[in-house]
Amino acid sequence: MEKKTLSSTCREDGSILISSGERLTIENAAAFVACLRDALACSPCVAVAFDADVEVDVTTLQVLCSACKTAAAEGKTLTHHGPGAESLHRLIVSAGAERLGHCRHNNNNPCIWFSGINQ
């Protein structure tokens, strides 16, 4: 069975889709940051697609939040594509990071990462 890894694809409309691969953890956080940074430098719209069984840790939350703030500050969009990963949702809940309010860093829009993307 082929191991799925972090990758990005430029779509026909110019947006960039980042595929999570099997792991988004401290071991590949630098690669995830670089992938997000490169994508946001090239496109106004970037989406992350999570593998259904992706392994995540708290660095994933930090990277997503930071990248979302950066995107908003530059007038760009960072979002998710498809369903969220159950492992990400469980981590958000267990870390007490679930937000039902609006994010002041993202034009006071609801936080798409910490407000329950699986729901």
Please give the residue range of the domain that contains residue 101. 7-110
pLDDT band at 2 (very low <50, low <70, confident <90, very high): low
What is the per-residue pLDDT across 65-117, written as a single tens digit (0 to 9) for each?
Answer: 999 999 999 999 999 998 878 899 899 889 888 876 778 887 787 888 887 55
What is the per-residue pLDDT across 18-34, written as a single tens digit (0 to 9) for each?
Answer: 999 999 999 999 999 99
The enclosing domain of 44 has a CATH number of: 3.30.750.24
In a domain, 80, yes or no: yes
Residue 117: the pLDDT is 58
Count: domains in the chain? 1
pTM of the full predicted structure?
0.89
In a domain, 117, yes or no: no
Residue 119: the pLDDT is 43
- Exposure b/e, 65-99, CB count within 10 A at least 16 = b: bebbeebbeeebbbebeeebbebbbebbeeeeeee
